[in-house]
Amino acid sequence: MASSDKKKTTMAKLNRESRLRERRLDKQARKDARKYAAAHPEEPGDTLTAAAAESAGQPAVEADVPALTDA
């Protein structure tokens, strides 16, 4: 019997499988992040509040939103 040098898996299938692996890794990362956040609720997030910014020596950024008027 001659050995087959033919590729048995198509590039489309390989691409589908790699996308599936990436989705599973992303899903697991989100799940782990939720578990971590639930276990550590007292830790602040990545947001920088105005008080924290001023104490860090950075100017606080406030959004100037113009008031909507009836025309």
| Distance separating alpha carbons of residues 4 and 1, to the nearest angstrom | 9
pLDDT at 12 over 60: yes
Mean pLDDT of the chain: 77
Task: Write out the two tokens for 41.
Answer: 């609720």
- pTM value? 0.47
Q: What is the pLDDT of residues 19-48, one digit of tens each?
A: 999 999 999 999 999 999 999 887 655 555
Task: Write out the two tokens for 53.
Answer: 């910014």
Q: In the chain, what are the domain boundaries? A: 10-38
In the chain, which residue ranges form alpha helices assigned H by DSSP? 11-39, 50-55
| Distance separating alpha carbons of residues 29 and 36, to the nearest angstrom | 10
| Distance separating alpha carbons of residues 20 and 57, to the nearest angstrom | 45
